[in-house]
Structure 1
Amino acid sequence: MTASDLPTAAPARTGLIKAMGRGFLGRCPHCGEGRIFGRFLKVRPACEACGLELHHHRADDLPPYLVIFIVAHIVGYLILELEMSYDVPLWFQLSFWPLFTLGLALALLQPVKGAVVGLQYALGMHGFGGLPGVRSAAGEDARLGNSGHGSTGLGRA
């Protein structure tokens, strides 16, 4: 019996925490080798290492919402602590906190979007049902009823 006679196992989906962690670091949620982003917030069409299609993700408004939630809690806590503990001049408060808030939000936006893409991959959402190298017999478009002739999914006239 040779190695080619052994049955090959289908690639397994990466777990939730691992996929989100890889996405947070800007890596492919499936293999962890390829990069998710081509530009600052532009997700690549596919992973260059394993071929996982990434173009169909739907992160939409969740990453900015999460970033606002996280940054507001951090900055709000720090402002409260600074006001209660020290007598800081108003000019410093008005110049430092907006810049700190903007910097923190920009620093967190890409990692949080990557984690959301990893979450969608791990849960098989928005076209992440298939894994790289695995094709269904009928194809996902046939299963969804799309004929590929420009239908928008709004129904037939």
Structure 2
Amino acid sequence: MNDPVAPSPIQAGLRGLCPRCGAPGLFLGAVRFAPRCRVCGLDFSSFNVGDGPAAFLTLILGALISAIAILFERTVHPPFWLHLLLWVPLTIAAVVGAMRLSKGALIALEYRNAAREGRIVDRP
């Protein structure tokens, strides 16, 4: 399933490219997938990226931004309103940007590896 036009998982996430044909349009909004590719018709709804990216990004970025905010408070001692002005938009932008990258990369990896939901098979 390694198509010559298929983008890498990082390219698919960064630029919102279809994992099959490389056409733009993987995302309908900031982090919501389009129902299907407008060019090749690949059904994006058949993939299950789940909430894994959201959980990891919330924990990782939350810890990183909290540590930076605490360091900033300890060294500069800015007023509280400056903390709100800095960290709220920065956190939102970082989470949405990283979410888009990770969800796009995961859907590309799911397509590339033909990953499907696990099933238990009854054996006679």
Query: Pick from 16, 19, 38: which aligns with 2:9?
Result: 19
Deviation of 1:75 (Å) = 0.8
**Cα deviation digits, residues 98-149 of structure 1 (max 9, x gap):** 332223223333232212211211221138xxxxxxxxxxxxxxxx9xxxxx
1:56 to 38, 46, 51: 46
Map 1:83-98 to 2 at 5 A: 83-98=73-88
The Cα shift of 1:68 comes to 1.0
**8 Å contact from structure 2 (residues 9, 104) kept in 1:** no
Counting only pairs closer than 5 Å after superposition, residues 47-126 of structure 1 correspond to structure 2 as 47-126=37-116
DSSP 3-state at the match of 2:46: coil
Contact 1:66 1:112 (C-alpha < 8 Å) held by counterparts: no
Deviation digits for residues 48-89 of structure 1 (CA, Å, limit 9, x no counterpart): 223323221111201212321342243123213313432222
How far the C-alpha of 1:95 sits from its partner, in A, is 4.4
TM-score (structure 1 length as normaliser)? 0.58
Q: Is the 8 A contact 2:30 2:96 kept in 1?
A: no
Q: TM-score, normalised by structure 2?
A: 0.70
**DSSP 3-state at the match of 1:92:** helix
Residues 37 and 43 of structure 1 are in contact (CA less than 8 Å); yes or no, is this contact kept in structure 2?
yes
CA RMSD in angstroms, aligned pairs only: 3.2
Contact 2:13–2:100 (Cα < 8 Å) also in 1? no
- Number of equivalences: 119
Ranges of 4+ aligned residues in structure 1 off by more than 6 Å: none
Q: Which runs of 5+ in 1 are unaligned?
A: 1-10, 128-143, 145-157
Name the aligned partner's letter for residue 77 of structure 2: D
Question: Is 39-48 or 59-68 further displaced after alignment?
Answer: 39-48
Query: Following the alignment from structure 1 to structure 2, what is the Cα–Cα distance between the partners of residues 45 and 99?
Result: 29
